Amino acid sequence: MSTETIENASIRRQFITFHSGDQEFGADIMAIREIRGWTKTTSLPHAPDFVRGVINLRGVVLPVVDLKARLGRGCTDPDPKHVVVVVKAGERTIGLLVDAVSDILTVTAGDIQPTPDLARDAQAEFVEGIAVLDNRMVTILSMDRLAASLVGEGLAQAA
């Protein structure tokens, strides 16, 4: 889905951008359900370090992923100033722990560049493209791939 939208250069897309570590990331606004302050999670046994555990979101048990750790940049030490971005991708709902949400970005698909080949690190798997605007570089993440990586075999390997 993402490749197709990127190629269609005239389509305008909106992203919520947020900071995690020293980077700025963007997630398609259509996937974002809400943004919550950090609350203590219930740890999951045998979970990889980037799975912070689960929280209760109005009756739904929501796994929370530490974005920084997921992208292989070390674990976040969360405090109440951190936020959890609730993302719905397909049938799955997950929470993303990030440092702070910055703003809403409107770009045309043409502003998004494909991932540079050299980015063969842990985050490449989830990067949909790079949006460059006025000296800002926002890494657009695929929420679908992030959520899907929590279910099934992919996670076991990552762990």
Partner 1 sequence: MDPMEAIKQTYFQECEELLLAMEEGLIAIQSGEADSEVINAVFRAVHSIKGGGGAFGFENLVAFAHIFETVLDHLRSGTLAADEEVATVLLRAGDVLADHVQAARNGEILAAEHDREIKQQLETLSGKEGGCDAAGDFDGIDFKPAVIALDDLDPAAQQGWRIHFAPHAALYAKANEPALLVRELATLGETAVTSDLSRLPALDVIEPDQAYFAWDIVLKGDIARDKIEEVFEFVVGDCELDIQPLETPAPETPEGLDVETMAPQPEVAAGQPEKKEAHAAAEAAKQTIRVDLDKVDRLVNLVGELVITQAMLSQRVAECKIPRSSPIGDGLNELEHLLRELQESVMAIRTQPVKSVFQRMPRLVRELAAQTNKKVRLVVEGEGTEVDKTVIERLGEPLTHMIRNAVDHGLETPDERAAAGKPEEGTVTLSAEHRGGRIVIEVSDDGRGINRARVREKAIERELIAASAQLSDEEIDNLIFMPGFSTASQVSNISGRGVGMDVVRRNIVDLGGRITIGSAPKSGSRFSLTLPLTLAVLDGMVVAVGDQTFVLPLAHIIESLKPQPQDIRPFGHGRHLLNVRGAYVPLVQVSELMGIKGAAKPLDGVVILVESQGTGRLALVVDAILGQHQVVIKSFEGNYRHIDGIAAATILGDGRVALILDVDGLVGRCRSQLADAELQPTGT
Contact set with partner 1 (CB under 8 A): 40-47, 51, 53-56, 58-63, 91-94, 147, 150-152, 155-156
Around Cβ 152, how many Cβ atoms within 10 Å? 9
**Least distance to partner 1 from the beta carbon of 95, Å?**
9
Task: Give which of 111, 93, 123, 157 is closest to 23, Cα–Cα.
Answer: 123
Both structure tokens of 116: 């540079």
Whose Cβ is closer to partner 1: residue 34's or residue 103's? Answer: 34
Task: Tell me how far, at minimum, the Cβ of 96 lies from partner 1, in Å.
Answer: 12
Specify the residue, 100 or 151, whose C-beta has the smaller distance to partner 1. Answer: 151
In whole angstroms, the minimum distance from the beta carbon of 65 to partner 1 comes to: 10
Nearer to partner 1, 73 or 92 (CB): 92
106: helix, strand or coil = strand
Which residue is listed with tokens 């996937």?
A: 31
> Closest approach of Cβ 62 to partner 1, in Å?
6
**43 vs 113 by CB, closer to partner 1:** 43
The token pair that represents 56 in the structure block: 């209760």
Among all chains, which residue has been given the structure tokens 């970005």? 105
User: Please, what is the minimum distance in Å from the beta carbon of residue 152 to partner 1?
Assistant: 6
Q: Which residues of 32-67 are buried (b: 16+ CB within 10 A; e: fewer)?
A: beebeebeebeeeeeebebbbbbbebeeeebbbbbb
Residue 43 or 108 having the CB closest to partner 1: 43
